Structure 1
Amino acid sequence: MLRRDLLLLSVPAGMPAPVKAQQHPNDAAERTPPLEWVAGDLPPFAWRAPGGARGYAHDLMLLMARQLGRPAQVTYYPWARAVQLTERSDHVGIFPLARTPDREKRFQWLVPLMTTRYVLVTTATERRLVLSQLRLLRVGVLRGSPIVRNLQGEHFQTIIEGKDYKDLLRMLVGGTLDAVYAGASMIEAAMDEYGYARQRFTTHLALGEAKLYMAASLALAPEEARRWQKAYQQLEEDGSVERLRRRYFAAEKH
């Protein structure tokens, strides 16, 4: 029950309800909670490395925060929890979140990051498997990711969730999984970050794609959303965004 409802219920019968004090038009804007950022360990966009958290989206957020004169802080959680926290709050930002039809009206979409293809990866094989063969495998997917629906739509029989890409790669190499379904740029960056040579794996099939965003709680105040979007536009205009892209996606086309 909301606080105002509790106050109304506490007024004795016959007495008028408390009158709401008049507010200056700028009062609400001044009390708008600042955006708090969360992320998961999802290289190359955001992850906790030995030397400190980094990544394309992480570093972009730092630049935007500096532009706005805001504290530059990201709290890292398992991905499914980070998504839930954002959806249940009114002032939380998250990255990198795939913009999918089922999520369209559940979040505010602040800043586009890049489009990623989703691929099926196994340990190294002499030949690539076709879709009918891949359907029979134990396939790992990131917990909380909507791309599981792509697998379900293609009638994959055994789908196993992992908390992050490090977890999925560990299960794949250890034999708990036969394949991993993930964003191509992310699973490749995870291989590099967690010490797996790319030659140990084979990419068999691309199955769908999505645009990744810096997103926020649906209830985030519009003026707060506009501040961050304006900061991004300024960084794009001065070349900062492109420099970050080259640092993390040297071989990618944008």
Structure 2
Amino acid sequence: MKVFAIMLSLAAAPVAAADVIHFTTEDYPPYNFRVGSEIRGAGYDQVLLMMKDINHPYSIEMMPWARAIALAESEPMHCVFTTAHIPERDTRFKWVEPVAVGRNFMVSHKNSGIKVADIEEAKRHIVGTQRNDYTQTLLENEGFPKIDLATDLKLTLKKLESKRIDLMPISEQHYIELLEKGIDLEAQFVFSEQKFAIACNVNFPADLLARMQGALDKLIADGTQAEIFETYDLRYSSFGQVAAKP
């Protein structure tokens, strides 16, 4: 397999023009994350290549998720990634997709003794998630009575480990990554399935959106997106188990 590498210098597009596209993102591996002063990830790399293809000025900034998505919703030239395209968000943004497709598991700490098979059983427990994350919307729509909100995913995970909460929804890929790091988690059931995308402001220029979608379509068609997924070891698991590396 060809080794896929992207240098940070690819992101050094001019940003002085009035029509600059402002991308916001969060620390959410493996889609976007920091390594030292650099941002990397399966979503981030696709954005870099798309913008290189359309040759349009842009910037990318990592920040807390609540601020990142709020800017995309309120500012005309802003887009946010990697964003779950759920029904509640459909008309609030314009979409470039799919950057990825994923599942969320409802997980517990491995030694908690908790066993739940579905959403109704999970409602008896305290469930934590990140404030303004799409999983908050999913939990609220399902009528979970005890939702604990934290400023970021890492804090929610700490609460789970310290048994301040009982359960939390987490992406399949992040679940696999945490298991491989030795974090004691146990998947209880598949909580949701969703498409991940770039979400742009509803007033974002239609011509630019079409060019970005065209660039993403090319990444998918020529196998580059799949190669990026390989780079970040994105793979599906048998439910509750880590998938074998190819």
TM-score interval, smaller chain? 0.7 to 0.9
Offset at residue 203 of structure 1 (A): 0.7
Residue 140 of structure 1 aligns with an amino acid whose one-letter code is G
CA contact (8 A) 1:113 1:212 kept: yes
Task: Name 2:34's counterpart in structure 1.
Answer: 48
Alignment of 1:143-154 (within 5 A): 143-154=131-142
Does residue 39 of structure 1 match 2:35?
Answer: no
**1:129 maps to 2:116:** yes
* TM-score, scaled relative to structure 1: 0.77
Task: Report the AA paired with residue 71 of structure 2.
Answer: L
Deviations 1:165-212 (A, max 9, x none): 2221122112322211122223443x26xx9414x1111111222211
- Give me the CA root mean square deviation: 2.4
Shift in alpha-carbon separation, 1:207–1:235, aligned structure 2, 3 A: closer
Please state how far the C-alpha of 1:134 moved relative to its aligned partner.
2.6
Distance apart, 1:127 and its partner CA: 6.7
Alpha-carbon contact 1:107-1:218 (below 8 Å) kept: yes
Residue type matched to 2:182 in 1?
A
Task: State percent identity of aligned pairs.
Answer: 23
Q: Which residue is 2:156 aligned to?
A: 168
Per the alignment, residue 51 of structure 2 pairs with 65
Q: CA deviation at 1:160?
A: 1.0
Q: Is the 8 A contact 1:32 1:221 kept in 2?
A: no
- AA aligned to 2:168 is V
CA distance 1:242–1:133, change in 2 (3 Å): closer
**Superposed, which structure 2 residues align to 1:187-198 within 5 Å?**
187-189=175-177, 191=178, 196-198=181-183
Per-residue CA deviations over 1:105-158 (Å, capped at 9, x if unaligned) read 110111212222222111104673334543222211121123334333444331
Output one character per residue of 1:70-90: Cα deviation in whole Å (capped at 9) or x when no partner.
456420111111111000010
Paired residue for 2:219?
Answer: 235
Tell me the secondary structure at the aligned position of residue 134 of structure 2: coil
* Aligned equivalent of 2:99, options 113, 121, 128: 113
- In the alignment, structure 2 segments of 5+ residues that lack a partner are 1-16, 238-246
Quick one: distance in 1 between partners of 2:134 and 2:218?
32
- Contact 2:117/2:188 (8 A) holds in 1: yes
Q: Where in structure 1 do 4 or more consecutive aligned residues deviate above 4 Å? A: none
Q: TM-score, normalised by structure 2?
A: 0.79
Structure 2 CA distance for aligned equivalents of residues 156 and 51 of structure 1: 38
Q: Are 2:79 and 1:84 aligned?
A: no
Number of residues of Structure 1 aligned to a counterpart in Structure 2: 219
CA spacing shift, 1:186–1:219, aligned 2, 3 Å: farther
